[in-house]
Structures are given as C-alpha cells and as structure tokens.
Amino acid sequence: MKLVLATRNAGKIAELRVILGPDHELLGLDEVAPFPEPVESGATFAANALIKAYAAYAATGLAAVADDSGLSVDALNGMPGVLSARWCGVHGNDAANTALLLGQLVDVPDARRGAGFVCAAAIVTGPDRHHVEQAQWRGSITRAPRGTNGFGYDPVFVPSGLDRTSAELTAAEKNADSHRSKAFRALAARLG
C-alpha cells in the first residue's frame, strides 16, 4: 500500500517507515507534488490530524496519514494542548514556549505537575473514509529544562516511572514508549 505522510519532518517519516514495515511505501510531502498546506484550525488533536490528512489525500489521491500532538498539563486544565507549538504566541519557538510554561507552573507543587504528551494519528483512505488513533504518554513537568535530545517540551517532561526527561532519553528509548509511537503503532495495526 502506498501512503503519504503529511509532514516534512524526516524523523517522523523514518519512524513511521519502521513501524509500517516493508509492506507499505511511505512518501513525505517533499516526495509529492507541492500543494497548499492547510491551516490547523481544529479545536482538538484529532481534528487537526484529519485536516492535514484530508488535504494530503485530496492533493495526491493517495491514502494519507497525519498526526497532531502536543502537551496537556493537568494544572493548566489541559493546556497548552493544541496550542503547544505556539503557546508563547510565536509558532515553533521552543525556548519561549517552555519558558512560558515553566513560569505558569512556578508556584505549582511537584505533586500537582502531572502532564501528558498527546498524539492523534489519522489515516484518510477516501472522501469520507478515515480513522483516528489517539495515545498519551504520561509524566510530569520539571522545574528546569534538562537534556538536549528531542525538541519542544521534551527537556521539561519526565515520563512516568523514569527520572530522566524525554530530552535525556535516547531516540530508541523515546520511540519505544512515546505518544506518537503508540498512536502510529495502533494505526499501523489497522492497516494490516
């Protein structure tokens, strides 16, 4: 089965290729004809994943996979949520997003700093045919960043049962348990 993954992130493409195995040919957005990428205007991770997957399907005619993910902090009522990448007001400024998050949690005791990375992975196989899998990676938020592996909020997220941040884990350790890995594996299981 030939699929397009609605991303230009080489790491995501490589990760999904491993999960899907040799029975599926996976293309990234850089490997298909350019098309206008949609605005992620959904109120949920699933809605944003579907927006991207439907756009890729419409543009290429191929079954399309997309994901949306972010951080949900218990003490902030689930925020930053779908706004994770632009929490500080500027899309993709990891340092500013993390600094704002830590500032908002400065007076929150360690016992109430629970959080989860959430990922919704969607596949679209026809005009009205789709499926979404959602997964979460639970943990807590540190008081200061640690580690250099990963991106986004990885340096302040300690997965449950560990004493290292996500940014202190190897890529293999992270991919074994991460929210994205769980969601993509569940989606891959539906593809057979």
Catalytic residues: 68
The strand pairing partners of 117, in sequence order, are 71, 137
Alpha helices by DSSP H, the chain: 10-20, 45-60, 94-104, 171-177, 179-191
The strand pairing partners of 4, in sequence order, are 27, 64
Query: What is the rounded radius of gyration, in angstroms, for the C-alpha atoms of the chain?
Result: 17
- Find all residues with CB under 8 Å of 82, minimum gap 6, and list them: 40, 42, 43, 44, 45, 48, 68, 70
d(CA 159, CA 153): 12
Amino acid letter at 155? P
